[in-house]
A and B are shown apart, each in its own frame.
Chain A
Amino acid sequence: MTAAVSVRELRVTYGGASRPALDGVDLDVPDRGSVALVGESGSGKSTLALAATRLLDGSAAVSAEELSLFEADLLRLPARELRALRRTRVAMVFQDPRASWNPTRTIAAQLLDGLRGEARRERRARLVEVMRRVGIGDPEERLDDYPHHFSGGMLQRAMLAGGLAHGPRLLIADEPTSALDTTVQAELLTLIDELRVEEGLSLLLISHDLGVVGRMAAEVVVLFAGRVVERGPTDEILRSPQHPYTRELIAATPRLHGPRKVPLRVGRGRGPAETGCSYAPRCPLAVEACAQETPPLRTIGAVQVACIRAPVDEAVAG
Chain B
Amino acid sequence: MTALIELRQVGMEFRDGRRSVVACREVSLTVAEGEVVGLVGESGSGKSTVANVALGLLTPTAGEAVFRGAALASRSRAELRQVRADMQAVFQEPFLALDSRKSVGWAIEEPLRIHGRGDREERRGRVLELLDAVGLDRSVAGRRPSQLSGGQLQRVNIARAIALRPSLLVCDEPVSALDVSVQAQIINLFLEIQESLGIGMLFISHDLAVVRHLSDRIVVMYAGRIVEEGPTDQVCEAPHHPYARALLDASLEPEPSRARAAAAPAFREAIPEDGCPFAPRCPHVEPACETGQLPLAPTSQGRSSACRRALELVGVAGNRDEGMVRS
- Write the residues of chain A forming the contact surface with B, with a CB cutoff of 8 angstroms: 40-41, 135, 137, 151-152, 154, 179-187, 190, 208-215, 234-236, 238-239, 248-257, 260-264, 266, 268-269
Pick the contact of A214 from B207, B208, B212, B258 — CB < 8 Å?
B258
Interface locus among B61-69, B75-83, B156-164, B247-255: B247-255
Which of chain B's residues 15-73 have a Cβ closer than 8 Å to chain A?
A: 41-45
Pick the contact of B181 from A186, A234, A248 — CB < 8 Å?
A248
Contact of A249 with B181 in the complex, beta carbons under 8 Å: yes
Contact of A261 with B180 in the complex, beta carbons under 8 Å: no
Pick the contact of B213 from A182, A187, A190, A254 — CB < 8 Å?
A254
In the complex, whether B214 has a CB less than 8 A from a CB of chain A is: yes
Given A137-B269, A252-B181, the answer on whether A190 and B264 have CB atoms closer than 8 Å is yes
Contact of B254 with A40 in the complex, beta carbons under 8 Å: no
In the complex, whether B183 has a CB less than 8 A from a CB of chain A is: yes
Q: List 6 A-B residue pairs with CB atoms under 8 Å apart, sorted by A's residue number.
A: A183-B265, A186-B252, A186-B264, A190-B260, A209-B252, A253-B184
Alpha-carbon distance A190/B179, docked complex (angstroms):
24
B301 to chain A minimum Cβ distance, whole angstroms, is 20
Nearest chain B residue, comparing its CB with the CB of A180: B42
- Write the residues of chain B forming the contact surface with A, with a CB cutoff of 8 angstroms: 41-45, 135, 150-151, 179-185, 187-188, 191-192, 206-210, 212-214, 232, 236, 243, 246-248, 250-258, 260-261, 264-265, 267-269
Q: Which of A152, A214, A256 has the most CB of B within 10 A?
A: A256
Contact of A182 with B236 in the complex, beta carbons under 8 Å: no
Alpha-carbon distance A127/B214, docked complex (angstroms):
45
Alpha-carbon distance A22/B188, docked complex (angstroms):
31
Pick the contact of B252 from A212, A236, A249, A268 — CB < 8 Å?
A212
Inter-chain CB contacts under 8 Å: number: 139
Residues of A within 8 A of B210 (CB): 254
Contact of B43 with A266 in the complex, beta carbons under 8 Å: no
Residues of B within 8 A of A213 (CB): 254
Residues of A within 8 A of B208 (CB): 182, 256
Nearest chain A residue, comparing its CB with the CB of B243: A183
Alpha-carbon distance A254/B205, docked complex (angstroms):
13
Residues of B within 8 A of A179 (CB): 43
Given A151-B44, A181-B41, A213-B254, the answer on whether A252 and B184 have CB atoms closer than 8 Å is yes
Given contacts A214-B254, A256-B209, A256-B251, 15 further A-B contacts (CB under 8 A): A151-B44, A179-B43, A184-B42, A185-B252, A186-B261, A208-B180, A212-B252, A238-B254, A253-B180, A253-B209, A254-B209, A255-B213, A255-B253, A261-B213, A269-B181
Given A40-B179, A187-B267, the answer on whether A253 and B254 have CB atoms closer than 8 Å is yes
Alpha-carbon distance A266/B184, docked complex (angstroms):
7
Contact of A152 with B255 in the complex, beta carbons under 8 Å: no
Alpha-carbon distance A215/B258, docked complex (angstroms):
5
Residues of B within 8 A of A262 (CB): 191
Alpha-carbon distance A179/B179, docked complex (angstroms):
13
B95 to chain A minimum Cβ distance, whole angstroms, is 13
